[in-house]
Chains A and B, each alone.
Chain A
């Protein structure tokens, strides 16, 4: 698998084929400093050209514009050691597309320390028993990081599949199958939201026709009612309720929702509103990421 590896000393950027585990230390450090340098280098590489190579794009949940992103990140690295901006915002996210050669589309999505790798095969041949005469059959396979997939994975697969079915224009490819395979690389909270984002980016990379993009946002409510977006694993464990929403890009409608814990109706509406605001950042990130990839410069 080819991806970008940052060699701190020389400052050179090169494409290397390595197992993700080895490069984990170099590439995906939660320290903000590493991300800054990467953004800078990606922009430099983009200027030099090379459109077929895997595109890495790093973003921050609290960004306003590309240049401001960098300054805000630098400010954070001096004042706070944490990887997210002040107040209620998302963790740093990064996305890489077209990193696997065999699937028709692939993407890796990172949110803080949570990382999910997605691959899409399709539209492809479908088994007669599973074929639907007027639209594509969508299948989602979710593999946990360790162990065999269990009932919880089946439940999540159903959630992701139904979300994808709502946006994918299956009617354009009848009697075919579109398979989305998700591999959890690391889980540090907000896993389902990360899976949804990775699946969306992989579907875009595969060129599957969709009526809208979708994104996943997780909210956590703690015992005194404070709302936290994109919680880490520790925050999720201590929270009273964890709500995950999938929103579409056209009208920010609620496509999918799954919740854990007890909460009131008013809190639900509050979380939904916060998720809708946060999804604007994610969709802007998608747009910039794709613009970067397909631009000539």
Chain B
């Protein structure tokens, strides 16, 4: 078995979109994903009146690759959206209770739009990273409910960052007949691979998601190797993210 260590996120920018409440741009080799988060008001769900919503949507447009056509989201986009929704749910990246303004009446709804600008493989890693960076960048204004008019009053001058509890980082592998495992595959490698594996890990070494959508079989030992590689990758990515945020903070 041989490893092929590839592209670290080459570039990461946050706050690039002025109109969005939080945004980020991530480049993993040639794969480029931009994430914009808009916060809007909504009624909390009836079965969980003290929770808000986080709604991810991955958009794979014809711009990013010849494989996609315009129109309703294709299968790959839907699978990616579901994957991001699962990561948000499983890793508890933000406590949904933090998004509630008034129990049963008003809550924040965060619409996370992940748009792929260039698809050169490993879209899941890039999307997870972009989402995490954008969430760290989101600033929500303070909202108070006026008792007399029962209307919400938004104070745009007083904004606060979201409380990000964990930092899930995704590591994808391309499997070739159980003999070769390539970390961070490009589109060509993904196309030729017999299987793929994505591991999402947070800083305590807990796994949020082990996504292996079919493909050739893997033994337990190989899986263990993937885990240790995922731990290393988490450290690398976290270091990069901390550097970017340190340079951004004085605002």
Of the listed residues B81, B92, B206, the one surrounded by the most CB atoms of chain A closer than 10 A to its CB is: B206
Inter-chain contact A260/B86, CB cutoff 8 Å: yes
Q: Does B212 contact A (CB under 8 A)?
A: yes
A178 at the B interface (CB under 8 A): no
Determine the residue in chain B with the shortest Cβ distance to A164.
B214
**Interface presence of A268 (CB below 8 A):** yes
Partner of B215, one of A166, A251, A265, A273: A166
Complex CA–CA separation, A246 to B217 (angstroms): 9
What CA separation (Å) do A247 and B216 show in the bound complex?
10
Interface string of B135-174 (1 = CB under 8 A from A): 0000000000000000000000000000000000000000
| A22 contacts chain B at the CB level, 8 A cutoff | no
Answer whether residue B79 sits at the interface, using C-beta atoms and an 8 A cutoff.
yes
Contact of A154 among B79, B219, B223 (CB under 8 A): B79
The answer to the question of A162 belonging to the interface, with a C-beta cut-off of 8 Å to chain B, is: yes
Residue of A nearest to B211 (CB): A258
Instruction: Say whether A262 contacts B90, CB under 8 Å.
Output: yes
Instruction: Find out whether the CB atom of B213 lies under 8 angstroms from the CB atom of A248.
Output: no
In the complex with contacts A262-B90, A262-B91, A265-B205, A272-B214 CB distance below 8 A: no
Closest to B89 in A: A260
Flag A161-188 by CB within 8 Å of B: 1 or 0 each.
1111110000000000000000000000
Check A134 for interface membership: any CB of B closer than 8 A: no
Contact bitstring A126-155, B, C-beta under 8 A = 1, else 0: 000000000000000000000000011011
Q: Which of A243, A251, A256 contacts B213 (CB 8 A)?
A: A256
Whole-angstrom CA separation of A259 from B195 in the bound complex = 17
- CA–CA, A223 and B27, complex, Å: 38
Instruction: Write the chain A residue with the least CB distance to B178.
Output: A253
Q: Does A124 contact B (CB under 8 A)?
A: no
The smallest C-beta distance from A223 to any residue of chain B, in angstroms, reads: 14
Minimum C-beta distance from A148 to chain B (A)? 13
B94 within 8 A of A: no
B48 within 8 A of partner (CB): no
A261 at the interface (CB under 8 A from B): yes
Least CB distance, A224 to chain B, in whole angstroms: 16
Which residues of B lie under 8 Å from residue A160 when comparing CB positions?
214
Asked if residues B209 and A154 are in contact (CB atoms below 8 Å), the reply is no
Give the contacting residue for B206; candidates A159, A255, A262; CB below 8 A. A262
**A264-B178 contact in complex given A151-B81, A258-B212, C-beta closer than 8 Å:** no
Question: For the complex, is A291 an interface residue (Cβ under 8 Å from B)?
Answer: no
Q: How far is the CA of A40 from the CA of B202 in the complex (A)?
A: 52
CB contacts (< 8 Å) of A265 on chain B: these are 205, 207, 224, 227
Docked-complex contact B215 and A162, CB < 8 angstroms: yes
* A262 B178 Cβ-Cβ under 8 A: no
What residue of chain A has the Cβ atom nearest to residue B197's Cβ?
Answer: A257
A contact residues around B224 at 8 Å (CB): 265, 269
Which residues of chain B have C-beta atoms less than 8 A from A158's C-beta? 75, 79, 213
Bound-state CA distance A88–B91 (Å) is 27
Which residues of chain A have C-beta atoms less than 8 A from B215's C-beta? 162, 165-166, 255-256
- Compute how far the CA of A251 lies from the CA of B86 in the bound complex, rounded to whole angstroms: 30
Among residues of B, the one whose C-beta sits closest to the C-beta of A247 is: B217
Q: Does B83 have its Cβ within 8 Å of any Cβ on chain A? A: yes
Q: Are A268 and B210 in contact (CB under 8 A)?
A: yes
A261 touches B178 (CB 8 A): no
B250 contacts partner chain A, Cβ-Cβ < 8 Å: no
Q: Which residues in B have their C-beta under 8 angstroms from that of A269?
A: 220, 223-224
Does A251 lie within 8 Å of B214, measured CB to CB? no
Interface string of A250-288 (1 = CB under 8 A from B): 010111111111111100110011000000000000000
**Closest beta carbon of chain B to A161's beta carbon, Å:** 7
A262 touches B92 (CB 8 A): yes
Instruction: Let me know if B17 is at the binding interface, CB within 8 A.
Output: no
B contact residues around A246 at 8 Å (CB): 214
Question: Given that A154-B78, A155-B82 are known contacts, is A264 also in contact with B205, CB under 8 Å in the complex?
Answer: yes
Q: Is the CB of A257 within 8 A of B212?
A: yes
Among B82, B86, B210, B223, which residue has the most Cβ atoms of chain A within 10 A?
Answer: B210
Task: Indicate if the CB atoms of A166 and B195 lie closer than 8 Å.
Answer: yes
CB contact under 8 A between A166 and B216, given known A154-B79, A155-B78, A272-B223: yes
Nearest residue (CB) in A for B204 is A264
Asked whether B218 is an interface residue with its Cβ less than 8 Å from the other chain, the reply is yes
10 pairs, CB–CB < 8 Å, chain A vs chain B: A152-B82, A154-B75, A159-B214, A162-B195, A246-B214, A262-B207, A263-B207, A265-B227, A268-B227, A272-B220
* 12 additional A-B residue pairs with CB within 8 Å, beyond A246-B214, A262-B207: A151-B78, A154-B79, A155-B82, A162-B214, A163-B213, A166-B194, A254-B223, A262-B90, A263-B207, A265-B205, A268-B207, A272-B223
A binding-site residues for B, Cβ under 8 Å:
151-152, 154-155, 157-166, 243, 246-248, 251, 253-265, 268-269, 272-273
Which chain B residues have a beta carbon within 8 Å of chain A's beta carbons? 75, 78-79, 81-83, 86, 89-92, 178, 194-195, 202, 205-220, 223-224, 227
